[in-house]
Structure 1
Amino acid sequence: MSRITHIEITHHQLVLDPPFPASWDTRPRTHFPATVLRVHDDEGRTGIGSGDAMYGFSDYAHLFIGTDPLDLERHHAVLMNIEFHAGRPWPMDVALWDLAGKVRNEPVWRMLGGHTDRLRAYVSSGVHRPVEDMVRVAQQVVQAGFPALKVRFGRPRFEDDLAVVQAIHEAVGDRLELMVDCNQGWRMPWDTAQPWTLGHALVVARQLEQLGVYWMEEPLHRGDYEGLRALRKQVGIRVAGGEMTREPYEFRELLERDCLDVFQPDAVCSGGITGLAKVARAVAAQGRIFTPHTWGNGIGLMANLQLTAGTVGAPFIEWPLDAPEWSAERRDYMLTHPLRPDGQGWFHLPQTPGLGIELDEAALARTLSSAATFH
């Protein structure tokens, strides 16, 4: 039986020129930070994870040294406790699954049950562009073989947001499923705008429903259970959310109260692969859709691909892309090969052990801002 010997955490910053004006952030982003966690065992294997900055984890890293890397449920229980006392530690869970796959010599998606070996991607845009530019983006998405596109609301006027969806619908018709992200579930620390009311969300939902939109995402605050339930009762469009929901009991509330049609937690932000495998199966058992949020880097995207393919599958899974500000090369700068689906928008899960990713050590060295090792 192998044992964990040490854990490395490195922080990196990629300069973004041009900046990335994310639709959910009032401040254009000039740098893209990445945290990379490596967990090593005494037989020379390394598991890789990424996600949050691991604030406060240094106080608790010793709890994993000398333990069996395959004791995933024990490790997850410790990580849940760490999250309560410190920052979100889920890169560690992802790295432990990568390491466990290398110990067992099988890919993570097979360890989780091997539900499917491929997932269809939808393109997830992130920039507020003029109507004609958004139409051009949608046409390019169709030409590239993708089945679906997500656009972002949040322009100064609702009419401007709606004009984008109407124009895309007229231009591409039923050749493309459209999702709309309302971005009302959470805010950046400096953004004090209040989330939508149920009344406003109903107005938006009825307009989107007429345009055949596949789902509306985060139309209300993530904790507005009664509002979400009431919204679902009054409209036919699917309601999506939960990308930053954290606790298992919160997912149970969302399920039991019939708040969502589509659940979107991210393995590197909420519960890790271990916790979300349980959520995915509970969601599917209720006839709902599980398809994670994946806005981060390629390590997190791969973790969510493995999680979803291994457990329950999904009609679509998010692929963040909005070049030139948000390209695959920028997003995955820490990997030797940026993650890309095939010409029909399919991600084929790797057959290699663990997550099946390889770090670009030269790129990580160029972008390094700090490093720490825990024995």
Structure 2
Amino acid sequence: MKIVDLEAYLCHFPLPAPFYPSWIPGVPSMNNSLLLVRLMTDEGIDGYTASVAFLSELKGAPDLLKVFLVERDPFKVEDFVRVFRSARAVGVRAWFMDVALWDIIGKAAGQPIYRLMGGYRDRVKAYASTGELREPARRVEDALALVEKGFKAIKLRIRSADPREDIAVVEAVRGAVGPDIDIMVDANQAWPIHGFADYPSWDLKRAMTMVKELDRLGVAWLEEPLGMHEYDALTTLTQSTPLNISGGEMNADLGEFRELIGRRCYDIIQPDVTLSCGLQNGKKIAGMAEAAGIVLNPHTWTNGIGFAANLQLMGAIPNCTYCEYPIEYPGWVPEARDAMLSQPFEIDEEGFVPLPEGPGLGIEVDMEKVRAHGERVA
């Protein structure tokens, strides 16, 4: 089998309401923006993938990707690991293309990817991952609505200038949902985006103060409390507290995760196969983490295809405890997150996300919607 061509669309799927992401203060999102790629083979089997986009910065990426992909065997994924490293060196973060390769492999084998990679579980417990900074009263209302929908865990964003405001939000939600709902918090300090609005920065001292308060409130983990390459400070923080510390969504490739795991920077690592490593290296990272007694709960806040790809890794490995389910009403809803799919991912009655049983990613891409909301760029 050979890859013969690719088709790519830069898509902007409109959100039902503006979304104000904690990680880009001052820049409301009006669309779910992404580069969608269909990889075509000489045997008529197509593989799909997508990369999160900001504006139009990825328009030229498909032409460069073609140089690295066409006329190669999609089954030789290890060869592509080196290829994707080369692509990064000339300007494209190409790990997301690994997902299309595995989609092809799964379809050729007639099996979902997670079964080919280990087949450990067929569903994963979900946590509702919110995305905005909100006042305590509003966040309590949100949390109760999410519990009503069946979620057993909720992640909150905390990144206020005054740490007392962050603690007030967590205290209010804990008081409202009770002790049986897991609460996670994300400080979004690993890769701050400056230039639009104030972005309060944490140092080790502030992080140490926060973990004491969060541990008192029974928080399950604190995510991204420090910069993504502050290895020494992260190790100091993680070893100083019983509270789980997590992160890693924008760290890249095996070398950085070897550092994170070897130095025990985190109790929970959170690579994203479309941003950090691909599925092939994601499985290797999971093995390194398992050997060190570290949990791997992938980051999924990209789009429906990215969610599907990370879900396949979750199904393949034993050391995953939770599936991040991005949701923030009224703007970031499942129908908008998964707008490029024929149907959105949902949780079951017990609060789990079932693994798709179809071959490859197990999803159906709605090309009619893709063409309606996308510009063909290759």
- Using the TM superposition, give the Cα deviation of residue 156 of structure 1 relative to its aligned residue in structure 2, in angstroms: 3.5
- The answer as to whether partners of 2:286 and 2:319 remain within 8 angstroms in 1 is no
Show the counterpart of 2:320: 314
Partner of 2:13: 14
Give the TM-score, by structure 1 length: 0.95
Q: Where does residue 87 of structure 2 map in the other structure?
A: 82
Corresponding residue SS for 1:70: coil
Aligned length: 371
Q: Please point out which of 63, 67, 74 is paired with 1:62.
A: 67
Which is further off, 73-82 or 201-210?
73-82
**1:349 and 2:355 aligned:** yes
**Structure 1 position 194, deviation (Å):** 6.4
Shift of 1:233: 2.0
The one of 314, 338, 344 equivalent to 1:338 is 344
SS in structure 1 at match of 2:8: strand
TM-score by length of 2: 0.94
**Deviation for aligned residue 1:31:** 2.5
> 1:229 and 1:237, CA in 2 relative to 1: closer, same or farther beyond 3 A?
same
Whole-Å Cα distance in 2 between the matches of residues 56 and 339 of structure 1?
A: 28
Deviation at residue 179 of structure 1 after TM alignment: 0.3
Q: Is the 8 A contact 1:57 1:89 kept in 2?
A: no
Contact 1:106 1:354 in 2 (8 A): yes
Change (3 A) 1:37 1:60: closer
Moved more, 216-225 or 357-366: 357-366
Stretches of structure 1 lacking an aligned partner (at least 5 in a row): none
* CA distance in 1: counterparts of 2:51 and 2:21, whole angstroms: 18
Q: What is the rounded CA distance, in whole Å, between the counterparts of 2:161 and 2:194 in structure 1? A: 20
Q: Deviation at 1:16?
A: 3.2
State the Cα distance separating 1:313 from its structure 2 match: 4.7
Q: Provide the C-alpha distance between the structure 1 equivalents of 2:127 and 2:294, rounded to a whole number of angstroms.
A: 18
2:263 alignment partner in structure 1: 257
The aligned counterpart of 1:292 is 298
User: What's the counterpart of residue 35 of structure 1?
Assistant: 35
Q: What amino acid sits opposite 1:190 in the alignment?
A: G
Distance 1:225 1:358 in 2: 40
Q: Does residue 165 of structure 1 match 2:170?
A: yes
Unaligned runs of 5+ in 2: none
| Maintained 8 Å contact 2:268/2:295 | yes
The amino acid that maps onto 1:46 is D
Moved more, 304-313 or 293-302: 304-313
Per-residue CA shift, 1:252-278, capped at 9, x if unaligned?
Answer: 111111110000010000111111110
SS of the equivalent of 1:271 reads: helix
1:155 counterpart residue number: 160
Compare 46-55 and 107-116 and name the one that shifted more.
46-55
| Alpha-carbon distance in structure 2 between the residues aligned to 1:352 and 1:16 | 28
Matches within 5 A, 1:43-54: 43-53=43-53
| Distance across 1 between alignment mates of 2:133 and 2:187 | 12
Matched, 1:117 2:116: no
Q: Once the two structures are superposed, what CA deviation does each residue of 1:328-351 show, in whole Å capped at 9, x if it has no partner?
A: 011111111011121221111122
What is the CA–CA distance in structure 1 between the aligned matches of 2:125 and 2:248, rounded to whole Å? 21
Q: Residues 206-217 of structure 1: matches in 2 within 5 Å?
A: 206-217=212-223
Which letter maps to 1:106? Q
Shift of 1:52: 4.0
Say whether the 8 Å CA contact 1:11–1:34 is kept in structure 2: yes
Q: Provide closer, same or farther for how the CA distance between residues 72 and 182 of structure 1 changes in structure 2, counting only shifts above 3 A.
A: same
Residue in 1 aligned with 2:4?
A: 5
C-alpha distance 312-85 of structure 1, shift in aligned 2 (>3 A): farther
Give percent identity, aligned residues only: 36
Maintained 8 Å contact 1:80/1:271: no
Deviations 1:102-127 (A, max 9, x none): 11111100110111111111000012
In the alignment, is the contact (CA less than 8 A) between 1:198 and 1:220 conserved in 2?
Answer: yes
C-alpha contact (below 8 Å) 2:127/2:325 kept by paired residues: yes
- Separation in structure 2 between the aligned mates of residue 61 and residue 52 of structure 1, nearest angstrom: 19
Q: 2:247 aligns with which of 231, 241, 245?
A: 241
Change (3 A) 1:71 1:286: same
> How far apart are the structure 1 equivalents of 2:23 and 2:62?
28
Q: Which deviates further from its counterpart, 267-276 or 357-366?
A: 357-366
* 1:178 paired residue number: 183
Report the Cα offset of residue 84 of structure 1.
Answer: 2.3
Contact 2:153–2:183 (CA under 8 A) maintained in structure 1:
yes
Cα offset for 1:101?
A: 0.6
CA distance in 1, matches of 2:152, 2:352: 10
Give, as a single letter, the amino acid of the residue that structure 2 aligns with 1:96. L
**Deviation digits for residues 231-258 of structure 1, max 9, x if unmatched?**
1122110000111001311111111111
Q: Which residue of 1 aligns with 2:138?
A: 133
Partner amino acid, structure 2, of 1:61? K
What's the CA shift for 1:60? 4.3
